[in-house]
Structure 1
């Protein structure tokens, strides 16, 4: 289900004039080693916002940690965790920020 939601959302965002990259490789650097494409972020919107798509009963803390990890590794400021299985979409949206400074 997540793949279908990802495809439809990406197509709709492109139709609205946004730049959308799907399945963006996320590299890891550890102790002098570079591991390419260790993870994959579902969508990258306008080279700024990371979108992680879920179709699960409830968002768990590990899902937020996943998005925060992508934000840190990709040096991006904002991510959205989108769960399409909630009763309403409003319930399924969680905004996360990397190194938030008011």
Structure 2
């Protein structure tokens, strides 16, 4: 009987260790899944930021082109005003 009790104790201990090992494995799997989920969210955020960056770069290029056109128009208007003032002075001087 003593041998059977010893065998039962060993079996219980083995089952206890197996149960703890399974719990540890489940916790590891849960942690891994959570990390993968976090990674997927981070990757999605990086993708969104990349798309935003591309859109903002495009808008910046358009704004710079518009500013350059406005500067060109401003120079042309200034040139025309100077020409008009010179013409008016010339007419007044006659």
Shorter-normalised TM-score: what interval?
A: under 0.3
Question: Larger % of strand: which?
Answer: 1
If the length of structure 2 is used for normalisation, what is the TM-score? Answer: 0.18
Question: Larger % of helix: which?
Answer: 2
Which structure exhibits the higher relative contact order, with contacts defined as CA atoms closer than 8 Å and separated by 6 or more residues?
1
- Higher gyration radius (CA): 2
If the length of structure 1 is used for normalisation, what is the TM-score? Answer: 0.17
